[in-house]
Every structure is written in C-alpha cells, then in structure tokens.
Amino acid sequence: MSFQNPVFIPGPTNMPEVLRKAVDMPTLDHRSPLFGQILHPALAGVKKVLKSETAEIFVFPSTGTGGWETALTNTLSPGDKVLAARNGMFSHRWIDMCQRHDLNVEIVEAAWGAAIPADRYEAILTADTAHEIKVVLATHNETATGVRSDIAAVRRALDAAKHPAMLFVDGVSSIGSMDFRMDDWGVDIAVTGSQKGFMLPAGLAIVGFSPRAMAALETAKLPRTFFDVRDMAKGYANNAYPYTPAVGLLNGLKMASDMLLAEGLDNVFARHKRIADGVRAAVSAWGLRLCAETPEVYSDTVSAILTPVGFNATAIVTRAAEAYGVAFGVGLGEVAGKVFRIGHLGSLTDVMTLSGLATAEMVMVDLGLPIKLGSGVASAQDHFRATVAQPMKAAA
C-alpha cells in the first residue's frame, strides 16, 4: 500500500490534514476545565449533525460495535424481544450481539441487496398486540451491500401499528454523509463512529439517546459498566469522563462537526450523492451492476459491485493493493468473493474518485475482465462535468 494514495474502502475514510493535526495534540489534563472546552462543543456539534433538538449525546472510546452494545445494555433486560431485519453483514452482527446478550430476536430475513422490508415490520408489529417487542433495529446503510434503507418508512410502520417499541438505528456508514433526521424519524437511539462521515481515525463510538431511551435506563437489567451512560452523564456534568477519555479524538470530533456544519449538511449530502452517481455511471459503463437491487436503495457512501459469475472479486482488491497501492473493500459474508466495494464517503473529491475508478479499470483489465480502459472514467467525467458549476468560456 502507499500512503500517497487515497483509500476507497467504506471506512476508515480519508482524513483531511486539518483533522489529522487536530487529533495530534499535546497531552492534556482531562480533569482540567480545559477539557470541557473540547468535550461540550464536540457533543453539541454531533447533536446538530444528527438533526436533533432533544438527544443526549454520548461518546465512548470504542467503535460502532461498542455503540450497538451501548444501545442494548442501557435500555433492555434479558429475555426482552427485539425485531430486526437481516439484509447484510452488519445487520447480522447486531442481531448476533442481541442473541449473545440473551435477547429474544425476531428476525426478518431479506435478500443481501434489498432494503429493510418496512411492510413486513408493520405486519409483525400490528400482530404484536401484547407489545412484547421492546425495540426495533434498523441498519440505515448496509455497508456490506451498499444498500440504504428508508428509516422514515420504518417509523411509519411503527406509527401505523400504534406500537410503542423504541427504534434503534445503526447509522455508522451514513451519519455525516447521508441525510439523517433523528427527531423527524422518531429515532430513539442513533449509533455511529468516528471513522466514516466524521473523517477521523477509528476509536470513538458516538451514540444519541432520545428522552424515551433515557427513561428506559431506569428499568434496564442488562449488565453494563464501561458503556453505562449514567456514569458518562455524571462525568459530563463535571467536564470529565468516568475514566480516561480519548482527548485527541474528541478534539478531532469537535473540529469535524464544525467542518460539516460549515459546509452545510445539505451540501455535504449533495456532494456524496454526486460522487456516488459518478461511481455508478462508471459501473454501468463497465457493463457491471451493483449488489443493491434497485436505484431507490443505492447507498451514497459505498458501492458493492458484482463481478461475473465464477470470477473471484477478491482478486481485484488484492491486485489493486499489490500492484498499484490502492485499497478497495472486499465482499463480506454472503457476498464474499462476489463483489468488491468502492467506498465514496468522508473526505473525497471528484478528482480523488477518478483516480480510484482508473485504478479499478486497470486492475480488471489486468485480471482479464472485458473492461475497456477509460470507459468508466469517461462516464464519471461526463457526470462530474455536467454537475459542476458552469465552466468559463474560452477566450475568443
């Protein structure tokens, strides 16, 4: 691999130099008042990125997986019933975590390439007249398959069923890159991490709790210590943590939130869609297709690209790394060896994207796939030229 080349994995993402420097800071006494000047602006910034007026934000030294565990252990008790769809590797892993915590999971199986079937959620919730289901899980953006699910539709399913279950959403590969509306969608817990939309190194689990989720703390019986948000809230009130915080990463989170808000969230989302559309144009020009079944569910942060039957897609990732020093994502779980993934989130530009597409073309030609060099790049260029600001006319 080469540090000179951008990465095209779905996270960790490329880091802007200003954020790398923000994380690289001198040692600070995390029990001094100065730490509060980092902590509280970081929490406030995340709250704005989540588009919430009421959420309590908690940031743990962990990853998105720790965020999942924070959500479950602070609100549920052994034997509680959870409704979840399995449509990819990361929804599968959250289900697995529930089962390891002795929760009763009703699993809705969906194709790897399909979105969460909100209509099936509604039918199950409507039939649950005893309200045994305590939580509905939803993976907003399934990173393994490049599929975006409609969280607003899941909320409508809950409302149509008149069901009181809480809604927990995995937004690890969407928050900060794709539109996320915690309050409007009635999300009770939102989970993300530092290494994707926030453009930082891995190391922070970022979790937003609604007032309803905070109320559930008092009845939850699952054990939690490190991830106990009650201890974290007490620490925050004193400008501190219940243990040693990741000060540099929190300083980076403060600046990352400022950068996203300064660009404007709508502009951030539009930039990601524009770049994603360029990647999709390239895929079409190559004669390939995405794992995501329909355009309505295409992710704007990662594209999982199907290769011809019988071809080992992992060879593309291996060849790119060894020959050209460029990182793409491998297929996971049921799509292992069937797809390679191009991550297009975080700190990314048109020009950076074109370099990744050009590399993918070289690799596929190297490996004997019937791809014409320049075809995908040209299609992406056409898209980028058509959607950029009107160019200046050449002088006569």
pLDDT of residue 389: 59
State the average pLDDT over residues 6-17. Answer: 95
Residue 63: phi and psi, rounded to 5, are -135, -175
State the average pLDDT over residues 86-98. Answer: 97
Judge whether residue 61 has pLDDT over 70. yes
3-state secondary structure 58-85: EEEECCHHHHHHHHHHCCCCCCCEEEEE
Judge whether residue 104 has pLDDT over 60. yes
pLDDT of residue 3: 81
Judge whether residue 4 has pLDDT over 60. yes
Per-residue model confidence as pLDDT tens digits over 349-395: 999 999 999 999 999 999 999 999 999 999 999 999 999 855 434 43
Q: Are 118 and 141 in contact (CB under 8 A)?
A: no
pLDDT of residue 393: 45
pLDDT of residue 388: 86
Percent of the chain with pLDDT over 70: 97
State the average pLDDT over residues 85-112. Answer: 97
Per-residue model confidence as pLDDT tens digits over 195-230: 999 999 999 999 999 999 999 999 999 999 999 999
Give the pTM.
Answer: 0.96
Q: Are strands 302-306 and 204-209 parallel, antiparallel or unpaired?
A: unpaired
Q: How far is CA 384 from CA 266, 267, 271, 283, 289, in A?
A: 18, 15, 11, 15, 20
Judge whether residue 333 has pLDDT over 90. yes
Q: Which structure tokens are listed for 153?
A: 């539709």
Judge whether residue 5 has pLDDT over 80. yes
The CATH number of 265-387 is which of 3.40.605.10, 1.20.120.450, 3.50.50.60, 3.90.1150.10? 3.90.1150.10
Domain-by-domain residue ranges, the chain?
17-262, 265-387
| Domain 17-262, classified CATH 3.40.640.10, yes or no | yes
pLDDT of residue 87: 97
pLDDT of residue 394: 40
Q: How far is CA 335 from CA 136, 196, 332, 355, in A?
A: 25, 22, 6, 25
Q: Mean pLDDT, the chain, as a whole number?
A: 96
